[in-house]
Chains A and B, each alone.
Chain A
């Protein structure tokens, strides 16, 4: 089947179809103009935001991230970044749902340690259970542990998002075989979340069969974030197409590409 005639390659999260498999964060940009330009270049349809205290008495007319990324155009994915316990993660999600007029899709992360920002998987499971009971659709950040990933799916998370490497580290996918095993076992979308550094990392995640990649620092901390956003979009698309195409088997020795027959020398 040619690329032109193939049916659209969409993926679905919580009952909604998306074309872009690149999900992006909105943190660490120079300003909101750069945020908007990079996200436009990334082609992302799902964007994460954090939930924090309003600045009281300071520039009340200051533009908000949702002014440049309107919920009418983007699926806003509020996160629980900075939460180290079940209670603060659940409160954050309830506030976010109110903030977004009842929109119930959230990115759950319950962290265990400030140095590594690795997830506290025990608290993550408890928080996910509580949120699902309360009607949330939970996309969950977790370790690259296939057993925990499956458990999170079984309790009802709508997407499982293993880290590639520590948040903001840019180290790339440290444990490809675990990501592969998580993908093989899963019947909900698997997205690599955190640790991607450059476009080839995103392509590798997609070649492993992930449904998508969520990233922030890899774009925001590039010298030219808008150009890197475009590179990431292409990396995701290239990796996805390579996965669908099915790569050739790797072999140790050479195999000539030109015919052996018909040589005249």
Chain B
């Protein structure tokens, strides 16, 4: 199925969990936060949060800023 990750269309397996997506992207040990369709998904819910076709996922982190 196709989802959008940080604005880029991305093919992922059906019923992929958020934990699975994070692992697949090589971001498992990073300090990050995630929104799906503009709603925050807490880290504690990553294992059970199942992605659906067309979901828009934002994965963010801290960067230098003023």
Measuring CB to CB, which residues of chain A are less than 8 angstroms from any residue of chain B?
A: 25-29, 32, 35, 48-54, 56-57, 60, 64-66, 76, 78-79, 81, 91, 94-96, 98-99, 167-168, 214-217, 220
> What are 20 pairs between A and B in contact, CB < 8 Å?
A25-B64, A28-B64, A28-B66, A49-B63, A50-B64, A51-B60, A51-B63, A53-B7, A53-B58, A56-B59, A60-B27, A64-B61, A81-B65, A91-B35, A96-B33, A96-B62, A98-B42, A99-B60, A99-B61, A99-B62
The winner among B6, B32, B61 for most chain A CB atoms within 10 A is B61
Contact mask for chain B residues 28-53; partner A; CB cutoff 8 A; 1 contact, 0 none: 00111111001010110000000000
Q: B57 → chain A, closest Cβ, in Å?
A: 10
For B8, the chain A residues whose CB sits under 8 A away are 56
Do the beta carbons of B6 and A54 come within 8 Å of each other? yes
Do the beta carbons of A99 and B66 come within 8 Å of each other? no
For B61, the chain A residues whose CB sits under 8 A away are 51-52, 54, 64, 99
Do the beta carbons of A56 and B25 come within 8 Å of each other? yes
Do the beta carbons of A65 and B63 come within 8 Å of each other? yes
**8 further contact pairs, Cβ within 8 A, besides A35-B64, A49-B65, A52-B60:** A27-B65, A51-B62, A56-B8, A56-B25, A64-B62, A81-B65, A168-B66, A214-B66
Contact of A53 among B6, B43, B64 (CB under 8 A): B6
Contact of B33 among A28, A32, A50, A95 (CB under 8 A): A95
Could you tell me the distance between the alpha carbons of A65 and B63 in the complex, rounded to whole angstroms?
6
Do the beta carbons of A98 and B25 come within 8 Å of each other? no
Do the beta carbons of B66 and A81 come within 8 Å of each other? yes
- Whether B5 sits at the interface, judged by CB under 8 Å, is yes
For B34, the chain A residues whose CB sits under 8 A away are 98
The number of residue pairs between A and B whose CB atoms lie closer than 8 Å in the complex comes to: 103
Query: Chain A interface secondary structure, helix, strand, loop or mixed?
Result: mixed
Could you tell me the distance between the alpha carbons of A32 and B50 in the complex, rounded to whole angstroms?
36
For A48, the chain B residues whose CB sits under 8 A away are 65-66
Do the beta carbons of A52 and B66 come within 8 Å of each other? no
Q: A225 → chain B, closest Cβ, in Å?
A: 12
Chain A residue nearest in CB terms to B58: A53
Chain A residue nearest in CB terms to B41: A98
Q: B40 → chain A, closest Cβ, in Å?
A: 5
For B40, the chain A residues whose CB sits under 8 A away are 91, 94-95, 98
